[in-house]
Amino acid sequence: MMDAPAYRQTLKTLNETLRAEIAALESGDISVLESSTPAKLAAISALQLSPIVASDAETDALIREGAELCEQAALRVNLLLAGVERRLAVLSRAAGHAPQIRYGRNGRMDGGYRSLDLDCA
């Protein structure tokens, strides 16, 4: 069982890692993304395996901050993905291949990258 200070420290580590990943997404630094992913996954696993400690203001603030950082990362990834899709569509048309776009009931394109849900893990 993880005590409250260790739990908060793990949350802080996770938030720092998420900040580093967001900065790496913005700068396009793949090496930072690759190096921060194992630390992020280790922190998530440690939090999942430990029982939630008694809630206090600091822990709640760290959890909210982590959720907001996760949302920012997901939005950034979706923006990058939309840019890649636009470039792929331009290249497809230039090569003489008309892109086949099908929208599903949920408003997402079926069979494309946008049909994947890229929520935070």
Please name the residues in contact with 3: beta carbons below 8 A apart, sequence gap of 6 or more: 53
Write down the pTM of the prediction: 0.72
Q: Residues near 42 by Cβ (< 8 Å), separated by ≥ 6?
A: none
- Average pLDDT on 87-94 reads 82
Indicate the residue type of 69. Answer: L
pLDDT digits (tens, 9 = 90+) for 55-68: 789 989 999 999 99
pLDDT grade for 89, boundaries at 50, 70 and 90: confident
Res. 41: pLDDT tops 70: yes
Tens digit of each residue's pLDDT (9 = 90 or more) over 6-22? 889 999 999 999 999 99
Which sequence spans correspond to the domains of the chain?
Answer: 4-115
What residues form DSSP beta bridges with 109?
103
Indicate the average pLDDT of the chain: 82
